[in-house]
Structure 1
Amino acid sequence: MDQIALEMNLSTRHLSRIFQAQLGQTVIHYIQERRVQLAKDLLLHSIYTIKDIVNRTGFDTVHYFTRVFTKLLGVSPAEFRKSQFSNGREKVD
């Protein structure tokens, strides 16, 4: 968030207020949602390991990624991938 504020020439507090007013959520929550969306796409359309996906989506650890992913989607990343493939989807490199 500090980097975003710096790029926009705003204080982090002012950025937070603007973001909350315009989008109705915090910057951190928005970033987490975007990272989880990217992770979902990678889980469905790649053969990357979960550890690789963690690195590609900017999460600090597999544990934190799994906790955030599960909180937002109600299922772990491994369960998500498995359930999608068992529902007829095929892996794409």
Structure 2
Amino acid sequence: MKNKKEFINSLLMWINDNIESPMKIDTVAIKSGYSKWHLQRLFFAETGQKLGQYIRDRKLQLIADELITSNEPLINLAMKFGFDSQQSLTRAFHKKYQLPPRKYRKTFCPQNAQQTSGGTP
């Protein structure tokens, strides 16, 4: 059996490879072969971060990158990264970055400001 660090590293690679799919802790637990409770304890012990928080933060980080590098409509990003709705993405994004996604895009990528509504220029 792999040691804990190797196990968590391989799990992180799997999470990152599948980050665009809807991902719940139950799904990750099934992949890992551990109960979700044990997996969360292992993950926290090795990383100092909660598994659900890691997944959410990673998705939001990738969304933030896409907001400034693409003109992809917010609803498409929400669906791409497994959020239930544009509103749930907006709430999570605002909580992490203290800005709603549209304002984040406008602030950090002014040439995309015209595209924030998802329409054409």
**TM-score scaled by structure 1?**
0.88
Task: Report how far residue 76 of structure 1 moved.
Answer: 0.6
Q: Percent identity?
A: 32
Q: Which residue of 2 aligns with 1:69?
A: 93
Say whether residues 1:15 and 2:48 are aligned partners: no
Gaps of 5+ in 2: 1-24, 113-121
The number of aligned residues is: 88
1:85: how far off? 2.0
Match of 2:66 in 1: 42
Q: Partner amino acid for 1:54? A: A
For residue 8 of structure 1, what is the amino acid of its counterpart? S
Separation (CA, whole Å) in 2 of partners of 1:60 and 1:27: 19
Amino acid in the other structure paired with 2:108: Q
Q: Which amino acid aligns with 1:70?
A: H
SS at match of 1:10: coil
Are 1:80 and 2:101 counterparts? no
User: Can you list the C-alpha shifts for 1:11-61, whole angstroms capped at 9, x where unaligned?
Assistant: 000001011111112111101100101101110111110001101111111
Aligned mates of 1:65, 1:25 — CA distance in 2: 21
* Unaligned runs of at least 5 residues, structure 1: none
RMSD: 1.1
Radius of gyration: which is bigger? 2
Moved over 3 A (4+): none
Q: Give the residue type in structure 2 aligned to 1:16.
A: Q
Q: Does 1:4 align with 2:24?
A: no
SS of 1:3 mapped into structure 2 = helix
